[in-house]
């Protein structure tokens, strides 16, 4: 049987964890380990998880660390798992279908050699889903948005053996780094099998990362400029034609808008091309809309 880790990073989300736990308790296949990394919560998260461990319904591993952001919690989880088994990140405010683990094990059991894993769409309770065409049988995670133009939340099952010592970078004083950087890193090792299965569900929260993205970018400029740098590099290596030009301009607009919003000038790209300089007026509008 494949060892599957359901990895949940959490910070002061004990009430949300209860819904996720109920979905895990109802799994038709309990051959998984729920790996929780507590990123310094000061609520009753630890007490709650210890109670669940005593129930012994399925394996639960609880790790606690000082608050440093989701990416640092992910690094600790990767250290714990090593190169063993597979993992999927399930956020503390999301939940799984009762057949999710059973489905995951079936899919990875038939996965072709060389594939890094499987990517599924996350299903929202309020929005219609748009997914990849059936003819797409392998994909890099960034291509779902950059190449196919589909803005969708994804649930990704990754074979830990392929990850090795790959870890997310971190900057002192910053607590947010986009997971997109990790997916760009993974693209150098292989591709994922995309499957449209209803195994993962979520709903947007007003205090969630998505709705506060620009605030997080401004508060974590070093991490964000690294994201833009890596995204630009990926675009240059993997996209072509008009799509490549459009995506490069988007990155430049984001860089310039953020540079207007932050005083950390040592991180601001100083050398702009002629085309990028022409985008300055539009970048200013982006700045007003996103950061003011």
Cβ atoms of residues 185 and 235 within 8 Å: no
Q: What's the confidence (pLDDT) of residue 15?
A: 93
Q: What's the confidence (pLDDT) of residue 61?
A: 98
Average pLDDT (165-177) is 93
Q: What's the confidence (pLDDT) of residue 206?
A: 57
| Helix pair 241-261, 221-238: axis angle to 10 deg | 170
Cβ atoms of residues 15 and 98 within 8 Å: no
270: tokens are: 């100083």
Cβ atoms of residues 232 and 254 within 8 Å: no
Q: Identify the CA nearest to 252 among candidates 266, 269, 238, 265.
A: 269
Q: Identify the CA nearest to 168 among candidates 159, 157, 180, 156.
A: 180
d(CA 253, CA 247): 10
205 vs 148, higher pLDDT: 148
Full-model pTM: 0.90
Q: What are the tens digits of pLDDT across the range 214-253? A: 889 999 999 999 999 999 999 999 999 999 999 998 898 8
Question: How many CB atoms within 10 Å of residue 164?
Answer: 11
d(CA 98, CA 25): 8
Q: What are the tens digits of pLDDT across the range 179-199? A: 999 999 999 999 999 999 999
Q: Does domain 4-203 have CATH number 1.10.357.10?
A: no
Domain boundaries of the chain, sorted by first residue: 4-203, 212-291
Three-class secondary structure of residue 155 per DSSP: strand
Q: What's the confidence (pLDDT) of residue 274?
A: 46
Average pLDDT (126-142) is 93
Q: What's the confidence (pLDDT) of residue 253?
A: 86
Average pLDDT (2-13) is 94
Q: What's the confidence (pLDDT) of residue 283?
A: 64
pLDDT band at residue 284 under the 50/70/90 scheme:
low
Over 90: is that where the pLDDT of 175 sits? yes
Q: What are the tens digits of pLDDT across the range 8-63? A: 999 999 999 999 999 999 999 999 999 999 999 999 999 999 999 999 999 999 99
What residues contact residue 26 under an 8 Å CB cut-off, 6+ apart?
Answer: 98
């Amino acid at each position: 049987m494949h060892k599957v880790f359901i990895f949940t990073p959490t910070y002061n989300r004990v009430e949300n964890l209860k819904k996720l736990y109920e979905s895990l308790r109802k799994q038709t296949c309990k051959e998984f380990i729920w790996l929780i990394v507590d990123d310094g919560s000061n609520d009753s998260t630890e007490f709650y998880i210890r109670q669940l461990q005593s129930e012994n319904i399925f394996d639960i591993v609880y790790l606690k660390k000082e608050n440093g952001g989701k990416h640092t919690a992910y690094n600790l989880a990767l250290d714990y798992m090593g190169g063993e088994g597979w993992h999927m990140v399930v956020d503390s405010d999301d939940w799984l279908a009762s057949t999710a683990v059973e489905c995951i094990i079936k899919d990875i059991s038939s996965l072709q050699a060389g594939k890094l894993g499987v990517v599924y769409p996350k299903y929202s309770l309020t929005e219609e889903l748009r997914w990849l065409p059936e003819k797409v049988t392998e994909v890099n995670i960034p291509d779902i948005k950059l190449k196919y133009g589909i803005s969708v939340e994804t649930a990704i099952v990754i074979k830990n053996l392929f990850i090795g010592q790959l870890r997310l970078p971190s900057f002192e004083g910053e607590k947010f780094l986009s997971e997109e950087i990790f997916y760009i890193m993974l693209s150098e090792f292989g591709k994922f099998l995309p499957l449209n299965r209803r195994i993962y569900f979520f709903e947007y929260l007003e205090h969630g990362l998505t709705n506060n993205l620009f605030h997080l970018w401004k508060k974590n400029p070093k991490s964000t400029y690294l994201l833009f740098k890596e995204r630009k590099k990926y675009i240059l290596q993997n996209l072509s034609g008009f799509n490549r030009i459009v995506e490069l301009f988007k990155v430049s607009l984001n860089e310039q808008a953020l540079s207007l919003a932050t005083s950390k000038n040592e991180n601001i790209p100083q050398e702009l091309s002629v085309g990028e300089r022409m985008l300055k007026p539009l970048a200013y509008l982006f700045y007003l809309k996103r950061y003011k």
